Amino acid sequence: MLQNIVIGQYIPVDSPLHRLDSRAKILCLLALAVIVFLANEFWSYTALVTTVILFVVLSRVPLKFFLKGLLPIFILIIFTFFLHAFFTNEGAVLFSVLGFSVYSGGIEQGVYISVRIGSLVVFASLLTLTTTPIDLTDGFESFLRPFKRFGLPAHEMALMMSISIRLIPTLLLEADRILKAQAARGADFAKGSLRTRLETLTAFIIPLFVRSFKRAEDMATAMDARGYRGGEGRTKLRVLKWRARDTIACIIVAGVGVVLALLRDF
Amino acid sequence: MKQTKTFRLVMYAVLGSMAAALMFFSFPMPMFLSFLSIDASELPVLFAALLFSPIAGIVVAGIKILLYTLFMGAGDPIGMVSNFMASLLFVLPVAYVYRHFGSVKGLIAGLGLATVFMAGMMALLNYLVFLPAYTWLMDFDLGSQGLLSIALAGILPFNLFKGLFISLLFIPLFLKLFPLLQEKSYGAHLQRKTAANQ
């Protein structure tokens, strides 16, 4: 559990998708989120599924990580499928169970909508699986920068995000340490009445808070001591660079959109 | 401790990642709908809102939900938005009521009020926005009667329970931690109060 969270979603393999600029990937995801809804009949859905499979293969991320991303939404997909299978009354009657007639149109619609939701999730997973959280934050910051003149603190937001991302593994490690320390003193977090459980939970959360406050204080002092004074004129260790392949990726996604728009049934 | 801008930035970030970390340990409640799960991630958000400002609460809630999305995947964007809204609807009333009264009684009143307010508003928002968004995604019309019954029978009691759960966790935490923090005079409004006394 701890190990799973520490590495986050990012799968460090080398692939064409990994090498893309995070800004290009964010733009492509936004476009794909719209494109998915263009599909509305057999051939456009076939094109959509082909695109999904192609991108998944291109990412060289093992399939099980996509399935893990689908897990939280799995109930919704199954539910959607059966809802359509039983309540959409189109096409020929295939069979009847307990007074419900299942129509071919219902099955078809159920499969289509499940594919639509599934594709959305896979596209979103592609972004987080092939991009490190820090790169994503940098990408978002560069999109937010133009809004600076309207008073949006883009630099501060990105800085806070980077600090938080860095702190997640540290905090989880610390939480683990506190849990073990309390367990060594005989605390049992899974037993007892609701009242005792709340009390033991408090005994876990209070040290976590106290240590975090201390950590924030130290970090702020360290930053001030090193002369941190906001985003003005600050340079970066890692600079995002838009390359030809990023433009090509955007063109490919636009092409997918055009194909689906042509195939769809108006 | 002098409260610099850097300190506040770092503090929001720390509280935000704490909230996200607590959110990883969420668990579904057996008596409620399976997609509703409960966690203690509102505690750092509450702390930010009470110690610093309501805006700080919004910032920390935003960091929390973004981090969670980055680490757990963006499979359920509607759920993310509704979780963020629930945070704000709960934390902001607590912050305003507490600031007005500034005592433990004020805090308890604020938590009670916020629980009812958040549960009511979330039922309304689910009925008007989030559930229709899901049914739109599923391309299936549940009918306004169906939506209403999910909102009233499923969402409303869940959020009342969630508010109560967070309040029960937060009160002892607040009682134990706040004297300590006051001593260090964190928090803009606490500082202002001491300045006014002098």
Give me Rg for the CA atoms of chain B. Answer: 18
Digit-coded pLDDT (tens) for B82-92: 999 999 999 99
User: Does residue A7 carry a pLDDT above 70?
Assistant: no
Contact by Cβ (8 Å): B56, B8: yes
Q: Which of A113, A128, A133 sits opposite B138 (nearest CB)?
A: A113
Is residue A8 very low, low, confident or very high in pLDDT (cuts 50, 70, 90)? low
Report if residue B127 sits inside a domain. Answer: yes
**B198 within a domain of the structure (yes/no):** no
B197 lies in some domain: no
B176 in reach of chain A (CB within 8 A): yes
For residue B197, CA distances in Å to B99, B190, B192, B193 come to: 17, 11, 9, 6
pLDDT above 70 as % of chain A: 95
A7 Cβ under 8 Å from any chain B Cβ: no
Cβ–Cβ contact B95 with A under 8 A: no
Question: Could you tell me the pLDDT band of residue B189, with boundaries at 50, 70 and 90?
Answer: very low
Strand ranges (E), A77-178 = 93-97, 100-103
Q: Does the structure show a pLDDT above 80 at B180?
A: no
Q: Is residue B164 within 8 Å of residue B113, measured between CB atoms? A: no
How many separate domains does chain B show?
Answer: 1
Domain count, chain A: 1
* Whole-prediction pTM: 0.82
Chain A nearest-CA residue for B51: A213
pLDDT score of A17:
93
Instruction: Find the residue in A nearest to B59 (Cα).
Output: A157
Kindly write down the DSSP assignment for every residue of A165-233, as one continuous string. Answer: HHHHHHHHHHHHHHHHHHHHTT--TT-S-HHHHHHHHHHHHHHHHHHHHHHHHHHHHHHHHTT---STT
Q: What is the pLDDT of residue A79?
A: 83
Largest CA distance in chain A: 75
Dig out the tokens for B124 from the structure: 């309304």
How confident is the model at residue B97, as a pLDDT? 92
Range of the domain at A126: 2-168+238-263
A222 is a domain residue: no
Closest by Cβ to A171, choosing from B18, B40, B137: B18
Residue A209: inside a domain: no
Q: Any CB–CB contact under 8 A between B55 and chain A?
A: no
A-B interface: how many C-beta pairs under 8 angstroms?
154
Angle subtended at Cα B120 by Cα B119 and Cα B122, rounded to the nearest 5 degrees? 65
Both tokens assigned to A189? 């977090």
**B15–chain A Cβ distance below 8 A for any pair:** yes
- pLDDT score, position A206: 85
The answer to whether residue B194 scores a pLDDT higher than 50 is no
Residue with the larger pLDDT of the pair A177 and A96: A177
CA atoms of B118 and B20, how far apart (whole Å): 20
The pLDDT assigned to A53 comes to 96
Contacts of B52 (CB under 8 A, 6+ apart): B8, B11, B12, B187, B188
> Is position B105 within any domain?
yes
Reply yes or no on whether the pLDDT at A99 is more than 70.
no
Distance CA B193, CA A257 (A): 59
A92 falls within a domain: yes
CATH number of the domain that residue B174 is part of: 1.10.1760.20
Tell me what pLDDT residue B142 has. Answer: 74
- Which of A73, A113, A167 is closest, CB to CB, to B139? A113
In a domain? residue B157: yes
Is A233 part of any domain?
Answer: no
Is the predicted pLDDT of residue A6 greater than 60, yes or no? no
Indicate if the pLDDT at residue A2 is higher than 60.
Answer: no
Most trustworthy range by pLDDT among A160-169, A240-249, B99-108, B134-143: A240-249
CB neighbours of residue B113 within 10 Å: 15
Angle between the A194-225 and B5-24 helix axes, to the nearest 10 degrees?
150
Cβ distance A161 to B4 less than 8 Å, yes or no, reads no
Q: Does residue B32 lie in a domain region?
A: no
* Beta carbons of B42 and B57 less than 8 angstroms apart: no
- Tokens representing residue A172 in the block: 């989880």
Task: Identify all chain A residues contacting B47, using CB atoms and an 8 Å cutoff.
Answer: 209
Residue B34 lies in a domain: no
Q: Domain limits at B17?
A: 5-26+39-191
Over residues B101-118, the pLDDT tens digits come to: 878 888 999 999 999 999
Arithmetic mean of pLDDT, B5-30? 85
Assess contact for A38 and A261: CB atoms under 8 A: yes
In a domain, A189, yes or no: no
Q: Coil, helix or strand for A194?
A: helix
CB-CB neighbors (< 8 A) of A159 in chain B = 9, 13
Say if A153 is an interface residue toward chain B (CB within 8 Å): no
- Whether residue B31 lies inside any domain: the answer is no
DSSP string covering A19-48, please?
Answer: HS-HHHHHHHHHHHHHHGGG--SHHHHHHH
